Amino acid sequence: MLNMIQLSKRLQTIADRVTQGYRLADIGSDHALLPVYLVQSGKCPSAVAGELNDGPFQAARRQTAEAGLAARISVRQGDGLAVLSPGEADTVVIAGMGGSLMATILETGFLAGRLKGAKELVLQPNVGEDLVRKWLVLRGFALLDETILEEDGRFYEVLHAAPLPDAAERNGHLYDPAFLDVQMPHAAAAGWLYRMGPCLLRSAEQHETLTDKWRQELLKLERICSGLAQSDTEEARSRLASFRAEINQIGEVLACLPMVKRSSR
């Protein structure tokens, strides 16, 4: 009996979102840890592991062969979703890259029809989560749930989405900031839903980690402000004002989370 792969907390959270029995595509798979784990554990009957770069592609092939799963995991080298044929995967996972690259991979793949037949997406952008949420809304994917976790001092968000027929209506409700008790223009409040996560903001049990993440962001912004305050150029003053406005808005949203927590119970 071969040893089962042990996943990090981040990869395990992603694996837990994948629906039992679905065929997987893991794009940007690196060492193919996720597909090997999901096929080994019996959760996925088969998988495609896509990788652009040579080193990780070879590592994925090695990992798959060592696990004795070369017949059930197809390791392919290529850019984003180009490795996938339409209808070939039920679950598409893209994890561990920036939101901008992820949105580009999704859009290119979507336009080329590579997402046809996909029943769910599990996405874990390292930064720029708002770009991924905007893409999901644009292309008719409903956000089913979001999870935030901390590992080794870093925060990760896992977005689970599906191409539902009523996605536009669901997203319309989800991104309506009326539930937040904030004194800012509607568009600004909606912008914070994209940046902080509409499900995370509504999910009382995730508020503590969400607040920890945004307190860390506040510290970073305050350090930037201290630097800018040393300069008296017009540009520095204007950037300082905009960072201070951002700090105030983050504080305002965080301050109303306990209220969301009470009313969502």
Q: Which one among 5, 95, 136, 228 touches ligand SAM, defined by CB under 6 A?
A: 95
* Region 8-47 residues binding ligand SAM, contact defined as CB under 6 A: 11, 27-30
Give the separation between CA 51 and CA 63, rounded to whole angstroms.
13
Q: Which CB, 101 or 247, lies closer to ligand SAM?
A: 101
Q: Does 103 bind ligand SAM (CB under 6 A)?
A: no
Shortest gap between Cβ of 136 and ligand SAM (angstroms)? 18
Among 19, 43, 56, 217, binds ligand SAM (CB under 6 A): 56
* DSSP state string for 216-235: HHHHHHHHHHHHHHT--SHH
In the complex with ligand SAM, the residue whose CB is nearer, 80 or 177, is 80
Taking CA atoms, 33 is separated from 41, 59, 103, 220, in Å, by 12, 10, 23, 32
Q: How many helices (H) and strands (E) does the chain have?
A: 11, 7
Torsion sign (Cα): 180, 186, 188, 193: positive
Binding residue count for ligand SAM, defined by CB under 6 A? 17
Give the CA angle between residues 56, 61, 63 to the nearest 5°: 90
| Rounded Cα–Cα distance for residues 136 and 126 (Å) | 16
Given candidates 7, 44, 51, 143, which one binds ligand SAM under the rule CB under 6 A?
A: 51
Contact between 163 and ligand SAM by CB under 6 A: the answer reads no
Positions touching ligand SAM (CB under 6 A) are 11, 27-30, 50-53, 56, 79-80, 95-97, 101, 105
